[in-house]
Amino acid sequence: MTSEFEGRVAIVTGAGAGLGRSHALALAEAGARVVVNDIAGPDGAAGEAALSVVREIEALGGEAVAEPADVSRFAEVEAMAERVVARWGRIDILVNNAGILRDRSFAKMEMTDFDAVVAVHLTGSANCCRAVWETMRQQGYGRIVLTTSCSGLYGNFGQANYAAAKTGMIGLMTTLQQEGEKHGIRVNCLSPLATTGMTEGLFAAGDAALLTPEAVSPAVVYMASQEAPEKTIIGAGAGAYTVVHVVETAGVYLPPGARTPADFSAAFAQMSDLSTARSFATGFDQGGGFIEAVNRERVATA
């Protein structure tokens, strides 16, 4: 039986090790041609880590190529995308996985470390999306996976830079989905938890054995498939998979003269009532929710 991924071309960034390597192997096993992106070696060519993953894919009977590019540098990413199109004629899948850490409490963090993390995670993902965007638009098909994290969703001590960059993925996803939908492009976010070089030593031995990168990658293959959802955040770890929702409560209307801190405090429980929560399709829909709350109060007091 022919795989739906046969003939598809996937770029996986930061694929020389950890989650990226696992994603690359999983996509190759599904039938895709895989571009294994990782930082260049000392001579500017593909590094040994990326070449090793290519050899693994080839040993499985797959097709892959190593591509060096620093995702924080748009010119390098653009050149990589051009080489991929010249080689295989298309780019169907982009998995933005490349990342770095510069953990430190915010009081002690140098802003250069803040900038470096944002440059790789957030700007790097935007660079890669922009480099493949026109190819996907012209094809009328594309699947983009951005990598957020529990730090971006919920916060983790010592990771203000990383959390800010990872939360930025959600805004990038929602807007790119709106702009790409009519061109057959679907954009989603992965929030993974796995034992890798970036998380080494953080988990108890028993948990670490469950939190393998290979348990996360099936979610990536799903988001890279024809059946992919849209504008969805999928959490993945140890073989468990969740969907994270960004929702807003119906809220309350506070009339002029009743908007003091004390008024907010008195209304806060109702304002926070999750039983009324819903999601919005676009940012402008939030404004409609505000007007709805005002009109609801007018009807109630008429």
Instruction: Let me know whether 144 and 279 are in one domain.
Output: no
* Selected residue with higher pLDDT from 44 and 67: 67
What is the residue range of 39's domain? 9-244
Per-residue confidence (pLDDT) for residue 111, from 0 to 100: 98
Asked if residue 14 has pLDDT above 60, the reply is: yes
Q: 253 in a domain, yes or no? A: no
Residue 200: per-residue pLDDT: 66
Above pLDDT 70, what percent of the chain? 97
Residue 201 pLDDT: 65
CA–CA dist 132, 90 (Å, integer): 9
- Please give the C-alpha separations between residue 113 and each of 72, 148, 164, 170, 240, in angstroms, as whole numbers: 14, 19, 12, 22, 33
Q: Which amino acid type is present at position 236?
A: A
What letter does residue 243 receive in the DSSP assignment?
A: E
Residues 232 and 266 in one domain: no
Alpha-carbon torsion (16, 22, 27, 32), positive or negative: positive
Residues 164 and 289 grouped into a single domain: no
pLDDT of 196 over the 70 cut: yes
| Shared-domain flag, residues 40 and 15 | yes
pLDDT tens digits, 138-167: 999 999 999 999 999 999 999 999 999 999
146 lies in a domain?
yes
Beta strands in 238-298 (DSSP E): 240-244
Average pLDDT over residues 77-81: 98
Same domain assignment for residues 290 and 155: no
Residue 265 and residue 238 share a domain: no
The pLDDT assigned to 72 comes to 98
State residue 197's pLDDT score. 66
pTM of the model: 0.94
Question: Same domain for 43 and 192?
Answer: yes
Assess whether 267 and 167 both reside in one domain.
Answer: no
pLDDT at res. 207: 78
Same domain, 278 and 155: no
What CATH number does the domain containing 209 carry? 3.40.50.720
What is the total count of domains within the chain?
2
Q: Which of 47, 219, 41 is nearest to 145 (CA)?
A: 219
* Res. 296 pLDDT band, cuts 50 70 90: confident
Integer Cα distance of 29 and 37 in angstroms: 17
Residue 1: inside a domain:
no
The answer to whether residue 16 sits within a structural domain is yes
Q: Which residues are known to be catalytic?
A: 162
**Is 123 among the domain residues?**
yes
Cα 60 from Cα 15, distance rounded (Å): 17
Residue at 249 is within a domain: no
CA atoms of 227 and 225, how far apart (whole Å): 5
Average pLDDT, the chain: 95
Instruction: Determine which helix (DSSP H) or strand (DSSP E) holds 217, and give its type and residue range.
Output: helix 217-223
Which tokens in the block code for residue 3?
């795989």
121 within a domain of the structure (yes/no):
yes
Domain identity same for 186 and 292: no
What's residue 51's pLDDT? 97
Q: How many CB atoms lie within 10 A of CB 134?
A: 13
Q: Looking at the structure, do residues 223 and 195 belong to the same domain, yes or no?
A: yes
Based on the domain organization, do 135 and 174 belong to the same domain? yes
User: 254 — phi, psi (to 5°)?
Assistant: -110, 120
- Domain assignment present for residue 15? The answer is yes
Strand partners, 240: 237
Average pLDDT value for residue range 67-82: 98
- On the question of pLDDT at 301 being above 90, the answer is no
